[in-house]
Structure formats: structure tokens, C-alpha cells
Structure 1
Amino acid sequence: MAQKFSFPRFRPDGTGASGRAANWAVIGIFMIMAFAAIAAGRDFLMPVTLAVLLFFVFTPLRRLARRRGVPDALTATIVTLGLVIAVALIGLGASGPVSQAAQNLPTIKTRLEQKFSELRESFEEIQQAAQEIEQVQAPDDEGQPAPIKVEEVSDSTLTSLMKFTPAIAGQVVFTLFLLFFMLASGDLLYLKIVQSFDSMAEKRGAYLALRQIEDSLGNYLGAITIINAGLGLAVGLAMFAWGMPGAILFGISAFILNFIPYLGAIVGVITSGLVALVVMPGVFWPMMVAGTYMFLTSLEGQVITPYFVSRRLQMNTVVVFLAVALWAWLWSVIGMIIAVPVLVVLRVLAEYVPGWEKFGNFLAGEEPPAIEDEDEEEARDIVEAGAGAEDESAARHVTAEVVEDAGKP
């Protein structure tokens, strides 16, 4: 007999299980409204969130500089100017290849048409077979296979980028100014947060949580930035070795795109393959170029990053993918970049906020942190026992034995 479960039933007096159902209803409504507010206010919330994350990253540097006698305002100025210079150098390095690509749009259009024409001729036999099958299924239909259409490459994309450039620049400026004021204020933000708690133990816990957020974000973003820089260098050199145009742009793109888990690598592989399809003959060599990009990103994702990033900071891959998709829906590209840092912050908070232990356990990777009760051990016993079962009936039998053994004194 299968074990049954049901939703809480509403009682006429409004007590008991109906209260739990009402609570879940309120939570559901709150989440819907919260997501709507986050999506609607992204022009303001995106730079604020990014500035707060950068504040946690650079606060240890500010604290170190203060111990060396450097004022907080001077450290904030150096950090802000450093970020401006870094962004300017990236933009300067990418401006040349981007400008050249914009000037070569007619040539790219012509080559794409030629390449798709060659591909259409290569697959002529397959099209002929498909046409014969279609004629057999519908003998009265004398329609020809639809030709492959090549959309014109226009300057609409560049026009859109020029349209949104002022808004993006404004958000960048707002982020940098907010970061400057937060760093220049020293420990004022920490002081206000700690003051909002009552007991001394809660104040200490809040301060330790803030410090751990600093360490976790700094370690994660520091390691990821260095790894991505190495990946960008490797991709740039590989594209140069293949004779691809704009090897510098490929390296910069790989560095930036790799901050987006999974999707960034996919975009890079597709882009490199399409560009190679334009500049190289045939299909084999473009596939080799795309395969080289895929090999480098796979090596980084499967070997290098797990080795250098602390296991404590590794996340549940399913949760990471869903978080990237969710933040992409809410905040587009910036949302995909900040998705994992936000998960890192939530995982740290789960270790300090009462009742969030299981949530932190859910966010963790293959080796989640131990929960201070029997739930984790019991769950592991059931899952490990059921993993060896061939079907649902066998799983019911072996898990029943686990439950019986756990109930014995």
C-alpha cells in the first residue's frame, strides 16, 4: 500500500492546518509581488546590487589599507579609479575589432550567403530525399522545398546598442559613485546593521556573517576572475593560432562571458563557430575552431575551477542553472553575472539565520555542510539504500527496512 499525503484541509474555525495553508498563500503572493517589483525596478536595483557586492569584495582591502594608515576616502578613490581604468582598457581593447566588424558588415553578409549556399548544395541529396518523402505522403502537393533564407545583416543591432549606451553608462556611473561612498564611509554600514539587533550574541552573529560574506565573495570572485583571465588569454591565443580575426576580442569576450555559468560558454562556442564559418572554407575547420573553444571552456569548468575554488563555495549545479535563468529573466545579462555571487551570499546567511540550515544544505554542492540535527543522516540513509533498488517496489522494501532500523532503540 502506497503511503498517501494530502494538502492541509481548511477548518471552519480557521485554526490548525488552514493556518498553515493561509501562510503559504501569503508567502506565494509575496514572492509574486517581490519578483514583479525586482523586475520593474531593475534600472535602480541592478547598480545598487552590483555596488553592494563590490563593497563586500573590496572592504577587506579598505580595512588592510586603514591598518597601514591610509584613509578610507583615499582607498575608495583608488578602487573606483582602478575599476574605471579596467573598464576603459577592456573597452579600448574591444573597440578596434568591433569597429572593424561593423565596417565589414556587407562583406560578412555576402560570405554568409555564399556559405549557406554551399551548405545547401552539400545537403542537396538530403533535401531531395525529403522532397520525395513529402511527395509520397502528399502526391498532389508539388511544392518545392523551402530554400534556406539568409537574413540581411543590417546595422539594427548597432543602432540598438547606441540607443542603450547612455542608460548603461548611467548605471555604471551610479554603481561607481555608490561604491565610492560606501567604501569611504568605512565601517558605518556594518555598524548600522549590527545595531539593528538586540542581544550581544545576535550582534556578534550579524557581524561574523558580514565578515564571512566578505571572505566568501572575495575568495570566489578573486579565484573566478583569475581563472577567467587565464581562459581569455588561452582563447585569444587559440583563435590567433587558427587565424581568426579579432583574436583580442575573442579573448575579452571569453573573459567576460565566463562569469555567466554554462550559458556564457555556449554563447562563446556558437559565436566562434559562426565567425569561423564566415572566414574559413568548408565546415570542418569552423567545427574545429568551435571545438577548440569548447575544449578550453570544458577544461576550465570541469578541472581548473573545481580545483582552485574552495569546495565550500561550490554550489548545487541545478540551483545555479535555475538561478542564472531566473536572474536573466529579471535583469538580463547583469542578472546572469550576479546570480552566483548572490547565491554565495545566501549560502553564508543560511549558516547564521535560524531555520535556514536546510536551505543552505539545498544550495550546497556534492558535499553539503552538515546540519546540526538527524535530518541529514536519515535522508542520506534512505537515499543511499534506495539507490541500489531496481524499481519502486524494491525501493519501498529497502527504505522500509531503514525506517524500521531507525525506530529500534
Structure 2
Amino acid sequence: MRSPLLTLTLTVFLISMVGWLLVVGRSLLLPFIIAIIVWYMINALSNVYRRIGYGNFHLPGLVAFPLALLTIFSVSTFVLDIVAVNLTQLAQDAPTYQRRLEELFTQAADLFHLNDPVELRDLFPDSVVPRMVTAGASVVTAIAGSASLVFIYVLFLLLEQSTFDRKFEKLFATPERAKAAFAIRAEINSSLMHYFTIKTAVSVATGVLTSLVLIAIGLPYAALFGFIAFILNYIPTIGSLIGVIFPSLLAIVYYDTLGPFLIIATGLGLIQFSIGNLIEPRLMGANLNLSGLVIMLSLALWGAIWGVVGMVLCVPLTVMIVIVCSKIEAARPVAVLLSENGEIGDLPAATQPGS
């Protein structure tokens, strides 16, 4: 009989090895992960289109599926073009904003009569603003550069998706175990669909309202900041805060008075607070069943492994881990610890002892 110490050692070694592979294989895995997300979105949107109809007539799959495919890629291309144009313009204007920021530091030193005034280069390295903008532009360029690889992955996923169920069923020795596995997959799919539907809707609302506020005030790059707010809204807790900070900091260096800064910070703060703390929790409900502490730890872990993409995916990945662990007897303690209230449901009949 295998000793508990040996089992624990092997488990720790396996987890460490998987973590190491995730970090080392980041450049290979991230395009595939993005492709899976796009593939999932295409199928979900296709199902939505198939429900559209009048009376007994509904869009057939042969129409709904290409329409969903065209919608996803058209919207992605349009958004990336807008972001790229805004980032290019921001990169050109960055030296001006940095000089303005240095002037503000000098004015603050004179206002408080500092003998040894704090300068921008004391807090940040030289050319910090242009470097930050250039880094943002390089991220968008990298995403656009990997678009062809993502497209190839998505194409093969779409071509082979008709065989996925047959392959999945062949993985299990008995029909009962296969049925239990399909039930687990359906539960994961239901939870993720609920999460992504609500999160995408509130993220779009956040991005649109952010852009409208900035357009009304007259701050440039409103579309870019709206897109940033849309993406950051997927990142729990800190995403909404960062979405307010970026345009507010630009308002400080763009305007000569603090009025627009206060209006932007207050307006965006109210948008983020209302959507994130009042609207989204009501729509999301208790469907995810994740501890708040676990979400923050997951955010740090996946952010360290896969950067911003990992932060965006931290909640869905943790939900999947909780659901899978809750259906495996030996791993149920992990699911209990990760859950919000310890209620993780019963084991499927096919996975119970003696089945």
C-alpha cells in the first residue's frame, strides 16, 4: 500500500511540474488558449443566433454558424484596429505628456516650498511614459502578430469539433463513467457560459460608458480607454481600479485645471462601483461559489504564470478546478477549500465507491 507521505510527495511534484510547464510553455500555450476562447465564443454565439426566429422559423445552423464566425472576427479586427491607431497616437504624444508631468512635479514642489523637491526621475526611470506606451503598443502588436496562429488553431478546432464527443466517450471504460464525465462537462459549460455571458455584458457596458464619459469631457483616446476598461473588467477587484486610474492620470497632464480630473475620476468611479458592486452581483448570483480570498490568490497565481491573460482567465479556470475536484472523491477537500460556503454537491453515482 502506498504511504500517505509518498502520495503527498508525488502530488506536490506533479503540481510543481505542471506549473513549470505552464510557465515555460507560455509562448506556445497562450495562442492555443486564446483560440479555445474564440472557438467557444463562436459556438456560443452560433447557439444564440439559432434561437433567433419568428414563430416556428429559426435560423438554421448552416446560416447561424458562419454568421457567428463572421461576427467574431469582424468585431475583433475592428477593435484591434481602433486600439492600434489610438496607441500609435498616444506613443507620439507621450513625450509631451511626460514634460507636462515633470512641470506638475515642479509646481507641487514650489507650492509646498520643498528644499529638495521630488522629481519624476526620482520615482521612475527616464522616459517612463514613452516606455509604458511602447510596452502597451508591443502587446497589441504581439496579439496581432499571433492572430494568424490563433486563426489556424480555431480553424482546426472547428473542423474537428464534430469528433470531440466520440473521442471523449472512448476515454472511459464504462458507459456509466462516460455519462458522469459528460455531466461534469455540462456543469462546467453551464457555469462558464453563465459567467462569460454576464461578465461580457457588464464589461461592454463599462467600456461604452467609460468612452462616453471621456468623449463628453473631451479627453483624447476615449475608445482606447473604453477598450482597456472592457478588458480590465474581467480582472477581479483590481481591474476596475486600474480602469479608473489610467484616464484620470492622463486628465491631470492633459488639462491645466483639476476640474476635468475630478469629474473623470468621480464619473468613472461611480460607473465601476455601480456595475461592479450593485448590478453584476445581482446578475451573477451565487452561481460561481468561489471564496473571495481564493479569487485573489488565483488572480496572483495565474497572473504570475500567464500575465494579463492569466488574470482574465483566473475565475473560469478556478471554477473548472472546483467543479472537477468536487466530482472526484479524493479531491473533494480541495473543492471544499476553494468554494465560498463548502457546499459542493454530491458525488456522481458512477464515481462513488463501489460503483
Asked whether the equivalents of residues 57 and 217 of structure 1 are also in contact (C-alpha less than 8 Å), the reply is no
Which structure has the bigger radius of gyration?
A: 1
Selected match of 1:87 from 48, 51, 76: 76
| 1:250 maps onto 2:221 in alignment | no
Change (3 A) 1:54 1:248: closer
Change (3 A) 1:266 1:55: same
Asked whether the equivalents of residues 60 and 214 of structure 1 are also in contact (C-alpha less than 8 Å), the reply is no
- Structure 2 counterpart SS, 1:313: coil
| 1:109 maps onto 2:98 in alignment | yes
TM-aligned CA deviation for residue 258 of structure 1: 0.9
- Structure 2 counterpart SS, 1:355: helix
- Give the Cα–Cα distance (whole angstroms) in 2 for the partners of residues 161 and 284 of structure 1: 28
- Structure 2 counterpart SS, 1:186: helix
| 1:369 maps onto 2:343 in alignment | yes
| 1:118 maps onto 2:111 in alignment | no
Change (3 A) 1:187 1:153: same
| 1:42 maps onto 2:26 in alignment | yes
- Give the Cα–Cα distance (whole angstroms) in 2 for the partners of residues 46 and 178 of structure 1: 11
TM-aligned CA deviation for residue 241 of structure 1: 2.8
TM-aligned CA deviation for residue 359 of structure 1: 2.7
Selected match of 1:204 from 148, 166, 179: 179
Selected match of 1:307 from 282, 288, 311: 282
TM-aligned CA deviation for residue 271 of structure 1: 0.8
Asked whether the equivalents of residues 76 and 181 of structure 1 are also in contact (C-alpha less than 8 Å), the reply is no
Selected match of 1:145 from 116, 129, 132: 116
State the TM-score, normalizing by the size of structure 1: 0.73
TM-aligned CA deviation for residue 162 of structure 1: 6.2
5+ long unaligned stretches in structure 1:
1-14, 128-143, 374-409
Asked whether the equivalents of residues 361 and 368 of structure 1 are also in contact (C-alpha less than 8 Å), the reply is yes
| 1:32 maps onto 2:16 in alignment | yes
Asked whether the equivalents of residues 87 and 136 of structure 2 are also in contact (C-alpha less than 8 Å), the reply is no
| 1:297 maps onto 2:272 in alignment | yes
Instruction: State the Cα deviation string for residues 297-329 of structure 1 (Å, max 9, x = none).
Output: 122211111111141125221111111111111
| 1:324 maps onto 2:288 in alignment | no
TM-aligned CA deviation for residue 242 of structure 1: 2.7
TM-aligned CA deviation for residue 87 of structure 1: 1.4
Aligned counterpart, 2:89: 100
CA RMSD of aligned residues (A): 3.0
- Structure 2 counterpart SS, 1:187: helix
- Give the Cα–Cα distance (whole angstroms) in 2 for the partners of residues 169 and 93 of structure 1: 12
TM-aligned CA deviation for residue 236 of structure 1: 1.4
- Give the Cα–Cα distance (whole angstroms) in 2 for the partners of residues 235 and 154 of structure 1: 22
5+ long unaligned stretches in structure 2:
52-57, 348-355
Selected match of 1:70 from 61, 64, 78: 61
TM-aligned CA deviation for residue 254 of structure 1: 0.9
Asked whether the equivalents of residues 298 and 315 of structure 2 are also in contact (C-alpha less than 8 Å), the reply is yes
State the TM-score, normalizing by the size of structure 2: 0.83
Aligned counterpart, 2:327: 352
TM-aligned CA deviation for residue 79 of structure 1: 3.9
- Give the Cα–Cα distance (whole angstroms) in 2 for the partners of residues 37 and 29 of structure 1: 12
Using the aligned pairs only, state the percent identity: 23
Aligned counterpart, 1:376: none
- Structure 1 counterpart SS, 2:235: coil
Change (3 A) 1:94 1:203: same
- Give the Cα–Cα distance (whole angstroms) in 1 for the partners of residues 138 and 243 of structure 2: 24
Aligned counterpart, 2:5: 21
- Give the Cα–Cα distance (whole angstroms) in 1 for the partners of residues 38 and 21 of structure 2: 23
Asked whether the equivalents of residues 43 and 68 of structure 2 are also in contact (C-alpha less than 8 Å), the reply is no
Change (3 A) 1:98 1:120: same
- Give the Cα–Cα distance (whole angstroms) in 1 for the partners of residues 250 and 156 of structure 2: 43
